[in-house]
Amino acid sequence: MSIPAGITTALVHMDAPVSFVGDAGSLFITISPSTSLVWEATGTPVGNFVDSRKLDPGIDFEVYLPYTDQAGFQDGNGNAFTGWYYTAKIVYEKDGQRRNFPDRDFQILTGQAAVDLALVPTGTAAPVPSIAPILPVTSIAGLTGEVTLLELGLDVVTILTPDPAHLGLYLISSAPSPVQVYDGGTASTTIFTTSINGGTA
């Protein structure tokens, strides 16, 4: 059975190791996804099973894995989900000798043609971002339906260019006036009732 139709993948690969005198070693690599998902288009569960490859000496490692930022996957609750990651465990072997390396987590973003595991730094991934449904807004300030700024008692707000002579000073006008001056996000006590042009009163 193959991966469900519609899922896009990228090549993940690693060259077989060699000794310092040029003798061929072999690779033993396991790949485990961070979570199980469902491909929505076909309803196929895609489990976070550990997949392993034990290769003969001199044989390179190659697999194709889904992009981790593509749309179309859901979690077990039916929420859209992106941003999972893969963990690779890598072992070199030669003549009964084993060399184990720390785990390395990685993601594959759309547009990447391939990932070379030899160049992926070791370490754990950041917390996994997920995309869940956006809940509908049913009311605001006690009003329902199509609520306008005027119904909320607000006027159109225009953000003017910062005054070059006063770095960090931002002028925000509520047309036509008054105008409040904000400096670093804190409103000043001065209220201008005249119009402001070019960032100065």
Q: Are residues 81 and 176 in the same domain?
A: no
Residues 169 and 101 in one domain: no
Residue type, 199: G
Q: Is pLDDT larger for residue 162 or for residue 52?
A: 52
Same domain, 190 and 161: yes
Domain containing 99 equals 9-119
Does 187 have pLDDT greater than 50?
no
Say if 46 falls within a structural domain: yes
The sheet that has 44-46: what strands, in order across it?
44-46, 37-39, 73-74
Q: In this structure, are 95 and 161 located in the same domain?
A: no
Nearest one of 122, 125, 98, 93 to 23, comparing CA atoms = 93
Q: What would the mean pLDDT of 5-18 be, rounded to a whole number?
A: 95
Tell me the pLDDT band of 52, cut-offs 50, 70 and 90.
very high
Question: Quick one: pLDDT at residue 150?
Answer: 59
Residue 53 belongs to domain with CATH number: 2.60.40
Last residue of a domain, one of 119, 154, 180: 119
- Residue ending a domain, choose from 119, 148, 177: 119
Statement to judge: residues 15 and 112 lie in one domain: yes
Specify if 198 maps to a domain: yes
Q: Residues 168, 184: contact at Cβ < 8 Å?
A: yes
The answer for residues whose C-beta is within 8 angstroms of residue 161's C-beta and 6 or more apart is 198, 199
Number of structural domains (the chain) is 2
Residue 157 has pLDDT above 60, yes or no: no
Is 126 inside a domain boundary?
Answer: no
**Given strand 9-14, what is the order of strands in its sheet?**
61-66, 9-14, 114-116
My answer on whether 111 and 141 are in the same domain is no
* Residue 29 belongs to some domain of the structure: yes
Domain contains 3:
no
Say whether both 147 and 181 belong to one domain: yes
Q: How confident is the model at residue 49 (pLDDT cuts 50, 70, 90)?
A: very high
Residue 18, helix vs strand vs coil:
strand
Name the pTM for this structure.
Answer: 0.62
State whether 17 and 87 are in the same domain: yes
Give me the torsion for CA of 56, 116, 31, 83, rounded to 10°: -170
Look at residue 146 and tell me whether its pLDDT is greater than 50: yes
Q: Does residue 109 share a domain with residue 41?
A: yes
- Please, which residues bridge with residue 172 across strands? 159, 180
Residues 107 and 165 reside in one and the same domain: no
Domain boundary among 119, 152, 179: 119
- State yes or no: pLDDT of 185 exceeds 50: no
The verdict on residue 4 lying in a domain is no
